[in-house]
Structure 1
């Protein structure tokens, strides 16, 4: 295929465009990484080891992010009642509301961005992305 460079350029442009729009939605309150951690905690991933595996980053990186989130009153840490070695992370009420608000804005952005496609094109695009991700 001679158009690899064109494909690469288009993928980068779309990715960067989405990232900038999400950064705008976050309104500089959090980094993208911090929001991903909040989002995962919201979905039930509440231990640092699980977060580092899910995000494929070091435990020390997760510790730095969670330190910032604790300092900014987005999460709390406490020891597990079952195993005191395990630290469990929980969203504060403020963070729960923030995550829900951001997720709604992201959903609206995705719907708007993908409205350029017909329903059939969206389904094809989803299948192609799935195929690419599984390869």
Structure 2
């Protein structure tokens, strides 16, 4: 018997909200890390992009440059990000993660990987591959 799309959507919603409710706190920030969730995403993005101007970072994060200025300032003040002038054009200011910022990201990755591993260890490799392929397909549609 084929399940209706509405029933599948309901199953997805139940599973998603249960996952978010249970796994969300485990993937959250430990108390000793003085970053907010959005700051963590920004630091991660800066780290992945390498030295980049604020405008390019804003585009990647899909916000205006003025919307991220305060967050960048806070990351700089706390030593997670530094501003450097472009060597070829001193008018351009580049953002890059500091060693402290990279260390925090490494620590978070280690904690999150351990938490996720706990749950994924109960899934067979072929099931996980199918799940990831499907999940990535949904993400791709969201990003369009």
- Coarse TM-score class (shorter-chain normalised): 0.7 to 0.9
What are the superposed Cα offsets for residues 99-135 of structure 1, whole Å, 9 maximum, x if unpaired? Answer: 2121222222222221221111100101111222233
2:41 maps to 36
Runs of 4 or more, structure 1, over 3 Å off, are: 15-19, 24-28
**Structure 1 position 89 matched with structure 2 position 95:** yes
What's the offset of the Cα at 1:62?
1.9
What's the offset of the Cα at 1:26?
6.4
What are the superposed Cα offsets for residues 75-99 of structure 1, whole Å, 9 maximum, x if unpaired? Answer: 1112212123321112222222222
Q: How many residue pairs are counted as aligned between the two chains?
A: 135
Q: Distance in 2 between matches of 1:83 and 1:92?
A: 21
Q: Distance in 2 between matches of 1:122 and 1:101?
A: 25
SS for the counterpart of 1:2 is helix
Q: Name structure 1 gaps, 5 residues minimum.
A: none
1:124 maps to 130
Which has the greater radius of gyration? Answer: 2
TM-score (norm: length of structure 2): 0.79
TM-score (norm: length of structure 1): 0.83
Q: How does 1:35-74 map to 2 (within 5 A)?
A: 35-45=40-50, 46-74=52-80
SS for the counterpart of 2:63 is coil
Q: Distance in 1 between matches of 2:53 and 2:129?
A: 35
RMSD: 2.1
Instruction: Provide closer, same or farther for how the CA distance between residues 117 and 129 of structure 1 changes in structure 2, counting only shifts above 3 A.
Output: same
2:86 maps to 80
Question: Which shifted more, 8-17 or 35-44?
Answer: 8-17
